[in-house]
Chains A and B, each alone.
Chain A
Amino acid sequence: MTLFAKAAMAAFVGLAAHGVAQADVKVAFIDPLSGPFGPSGTGAYTSYVLAFEHLNANGGMNGEKVELTGYDNKVSPKESLVQLQKAIDSGARFIIQGNGSSVAAAIIDAVNKHNERNPGDEVVFLNYAAVTPAFTNEACSFWHFRFDAHADMKMNAITDWLIKRDDIKKVYLIGQDYVFGKAVAEAAVKQLGEKKESVEIVGNELHPLGKVKDFTPYIQKIQASGADAVITGNWGQDMVLLVKAAGDSGLKIPFLTFYGGSLGAVSTLGDAAIGTLYQVSEGITNLEASDAQYALIEEYKERFPEYDYYYHRAFEAVDMLKAASEKAGSNDPVAIAKALEGLTVEGAYGPVTMRASDHQAQQNLYVSTVAKDVKYTVDNTDKGWKLVENGKIDAAAAEEPTTCEMVRP
């Protein structure tokens, strides 16, 4: 028993040290900071670090400083809930997560339960990248806000671009075998069927999440199918290794991606990326922007030379959080959640509105591809992302209807 007592004592001491009340606003960042998706999580974490530094330097949230803590969840839903509990216990009232819709679903569920069971201690979930449409449709929650366009919206941008290309007649779908990959495949099949029946889907494949080390067999299947283009929602290592295998096998057809901007994809492909790798995102560094935005991009690169300014939505989310705290006149999570509904801020690449009916951010989307001779390059190569012709989709055009029936407290 002596050890038990010691452990218990140590636990109390430890918690006492943690529990020293600070007036600060605590924000928890729960995402993979190691493993196959480590670069995705770390890239976003560094973006939030910089964004909150700027926020604190400009007076914080209603004068209170924001303290950001990173928690590594290894993209496991169960591990995320353990980390979430720890974060809440240490006083965090705002939770940021994005990598993995499987994780986001677990966090939404846990946050709903926590807020129901612990009135007065509510937490708000700011989702910056988990884009399964259900989260702002049938499974919507008052406590969840999404700052990234969801899979149907991004797929709309991709299919609109695709149907204008008459040389693309056969499309291959490949994705990760979980709720998000399935949502992407479903959206692609549905939208292509509606928009252009003559486009044939020659393959619809799901592979295990983060476990495939060599995509060559998959690439050979794509080659054998005679596809003219590939649509994929892959991200992180799964994105990089997919295009690596494609490059090795000499598969030179357009890859239409959600997350082609994943760290390392461009450098892996080298010059083969030009004109084959496409992505749809809420902004790219090589768009016309204000000097302040250029300064931010350069500051980010200087601080974190291994990464590139990619998670623009992280900065938008922090801007919106600040605007909401000012609108509410308080840093109380419930008040901020209410203030976020319908809020519009002027972003670097256009206005961003948090739609009140489903908590889905509405913003411009941009289809881009890899090119040389650009202002800002990525992956420390000589290439960067460039807008394709007619690549801008206005927020109004990107907007999708919702089936959400929001229950407000």
Chain B
Amino acid sequence: METIVFSLLNGMIYGLLLFMLSSGLTLIFSMMGILNFAHASFYMLGAYFAYTIMGVTNFWLALFLAPVLAGGVGMLVERWGLRRVHVNGHVAELLFTFGLAYLIDEVVRIIWGRNAVNYKVPEALDFTLFTLYGSNYPAYRIFILFVAVFMLVSLWYLLKRTRIGLIIQAALTHPHMVGHLGHNVPLVFMSVFGAGCALAGLAGVIGGNYFITDPAMAVQMGPIVFVVVVVGGLGSLEGAFLAAMLIGILQTSAVSINASFSDIFGFLGLTASSELGRITVAQLAPTLPFLLLVLVLIARPRGLMGEREV
């Protein structure tokens, strides 16, 4: 019982972080057709910016400023980089963001060093909120939960209830039509790209001290974010949300399951001594997202809730 409760709680937090990262990517991907390989790099930038700002002032300012900075970098990248390669087609754009991810990694290494930085949870949030089944539950995790839900609601409101949201939604499916109606589509693209990067940056601010802030965090997070976007379905924030939660909970709970293949498939004659039988569900955890990705792309290319195929 306690295992299930903890897995659900922790899985949900991880899932919300994943969603925060992938919501921006989904918007960018569906609107501009760009699979931004460097998206997770903005997550990393968010964490490092927050670390630096927190060193000078405090965490609350960082929570606001770091995403703004990350979004600003994103807008510059869109204006001076992506827009240039756009004429060379989608492959060139993809390659550009791929190179950008390399570059950001290296620049982060120069500025903040090769090893993890000591980005800590702020003292005001560093306490035990409640005790569950004899285990302390840190307040910071609940804080992550709140920030994520707040962001989720604001994003939903912005997209569904405001005029800006209307234009963005229209540009998602019919960019040319929106252009003909007199809207500045390049500006919309730049803003959406910046906003997506800012969301990734926000995920970095609250995820960086929950996990660890090191130059490898982008490389490790990047592929999983792609999985979320593709599994959720293109252009569908609801799908991305569902996929993020699914992957978050799946990965977290798999770790706590001790059963091995021989326990599950024992009826097929798989023995515990064989190599296949020895594999535990916990060991399987890192492969699950990618297994899901390949299966979805083969069986249902439009993803869980997408309207069109990849």
A347 to chain B, nearest CB (A): 29
B128 at the binding interface (Cβ < 8 Å): yes
Q: Knowing A213-B220, A237-B212, A241-B212 touch, does A249 contact B7 (C-beta < 8 A)? A: no
Residues from chain B with a CB closer than 8 A to the CB of A264 are 118
Q: Knowing A33-B114, A36-B214, A217-B252 touch, does A250 contact B128 (C-beta < 8 A)? A: yes
B128 to chain A, nearest CB (A): 7
Query: How far is it, in angstroms, between the C-alpha of A395 and the C-alpha of B190 when the chains are bound?
Result: 68
Residues from chain A with a CB closer than 8 A to the CB of B154 are none
Q: Knowing A214-B211, A216-B10 touch, does A223 contact B114 (C-beta < 8 A)? A: no
B116 touches A237 (CB 8 A): yes
- B interface list, Cβ under 8 A from A: 2-3, 6-7, 10, 14, 109, 114-116, 118, 128, 131, 133-138, 210-212, 214-216, 220, 252, 255-256, 258, 282-283, 286
A249 touches B136 (CB 8 A): yes
B115 touches A42 (CB 8 A): yes
A34 touches B3 (CB 8 A): no
A250 touches B131 (CB 8 A): yes
Residues from chain B with a CB closer than 8 A to the CB of A237 are 116, 212
The contact string, 1 if C-beta is below 8 Å from chain B, for chain A 308-323, is: 0000000000000000
B109 to chain A, nearest CB (A): 8
The contact string, 1 if C-beta is below 8 Å from chain B, for chain A 329-353, is: 0000000000000000000000000
Query: How far is it, in angstroms, between the C-alpha of A220 and the C-alpha of B211 when the chains are bound?
Result: 16
Query: How far is it, in angstroms, between the C-alpha of A221 and the C-alpha of B216 when the chains are bound?
Result: 27
B136 touches A248 (CB 8 A): yes
B5 to chain A, nearest CB (A): 10
Q: Shortest 8 CB-CB distances between A and B: which pairs?
A: A250-B136, A34-B114, A213-B211, A217-B255, A38-B115, A220-B6, A248-B138, A249-B135
A260 at the binding interface (Cβ < 8 Å): no
Known: A34-B115, A211-B286, A250-B128. 15 other contacts (CB 8 A): A34-B109, A35-B216, A36-B214, A211-B220, A213-B211, A214-B211, A216-B10, A217-B10, A220-B2, A220-B6, A221-B256, A223-B133, A224-B2, A248-B136, A264-B118
B10 touches A35 (CB 8 A): no
Query: How far is it, in angstroms, between the C-alpha of A38 and the C-alpha of B214 when the chains are bound?
Result: 11
Interface residue ranges of A197-213 to B (CB < 8 Å) = 205-206, 208, 211, 213
